[in-house]
Amino acid sequence: MSMHFTILGRVDTMARPLRLPLAGGEVRAGFPSPADDYVEIELDLIAHLIKNPSATFFLRAKGTSMEGDGIKDNALLIVDRSINPQPGHIVIMSVDGELTCKKLSMMGSRPYLVASNPEFKPISLTGHDCHNWGVATHSIQPLAPGFTV
């Protein structure tokens, strides 16, 4: 007689155990209590949006040049400093000492900071004192009157 095993995968001893909610319903033989479906942990928006808390900062957007990319004046920006900026990212850079939010783009082989509003001219990284600060991952703005971010 032989037994067959299916290898499901190695036990990951390094992973942090998932935090699961304590079961609220009683354990009953027979059929499961329908109430068990409602045992849920609270949704944590911060944990949902932010991958790397120690590297993440909130910044305030000021200006209108990025409205085409969905960033309105006064929007709340979530900025992750640990992301390596790539063309296409909305980045925060220090340009001549000022924190600036634009899209990183390549024109030919040269990097530029580009606004989504065509009235603003692209900024060449080579002509300015530019330092990477972080990558904007989300922009949050209020929709209903009386709400702020």
Partner 1 sequence: MIALVDCNNFYVSCERVFNPRLEGKAVGVMSNNDGCVVARSQEIKSLGVAMGMPAHQIDPHIRRQCTLLSSNYALYGDMSSRVTDVLSQHTPHVDVYSIDESFLSFEGFEPETLEERCQVMRHQVRRDTGIPVSVGLSTSKTLAKIANHRAKKESVFNGVAMMDPNSSDTRAFLEKLPVNEIWGVAGRSAARLHTLGIENAWQLRTASPKHLRRHFSVVMERQVYELRGESCISLDDMSQPKKQIMVSRSFGRLTTDKTDLREALRVHASRAGEKLRRQNGLAQALMVFVHTNRFRQDLPSYSRRLVIPLPHPTDDSRELIKAAMAGLERIFKKDIWYQKCGIMLMDLCDHDNEQLGLLEEPISDEKRARNEKLMATLDKLNREHGKNTVRLGMPRKQNAWELRCEHRTPRYTTRWEELAVAKT
Distance between CA atoms of residues 85 and 71, nearest Å: 18
The reply on whether position 82 binds partner 1 by CB under 8 A is: yes
Site string for partner 1, 49-78 (x = CB under 8 A): ---xxxx-xxxxxxxxxx----x-x--xx-
Rounded to whole angstroms, the Cα distance separating 14 from 86 reads 30
Residue whose CB is less far from partner 1, 33 or 63: 63
Q: Verify binding: residue 126, partner 1, rule CB under 8 A.
A: no
CA atoms within a 13 Å half-sphere pointing along the CA-CB vector of 125: 20
Residue with Cβ nearer partner 1 (36 or 73)? 73
Instruction: Work out whether strand 90-95 and strand 76-80 pair parallel, antiparallel, or are unpaired.
Output: unpaired
**For residues 34 and 53, which CB has a smaller minimum distance to partner 1 in the complex?**
53
* 134 within 8 A of 79, measured Cβ to Cβ: yes
97 contributes a contact to partner 1 by CB under 8 A: yes
In b/e form, how buried is each residue of 106-118, taking b as 16+ CB within 10 angstroms? eeeeebbbbbbee
d(C-alpha 54, C-alpha 31), whole Å: 45
Q: Which of 33, 102, 116, 124 is catalytic?
A: 102
Catalytic: 116?
no
Interface residues toward partner 1, by CB under 8 A: 16-17, 19, 52-55, 57-66, 71, 73, 76-77, 79, 81-82, 92, 94, 97-102, 115, 131, 133, 136
The catalytic residues are 65, 102
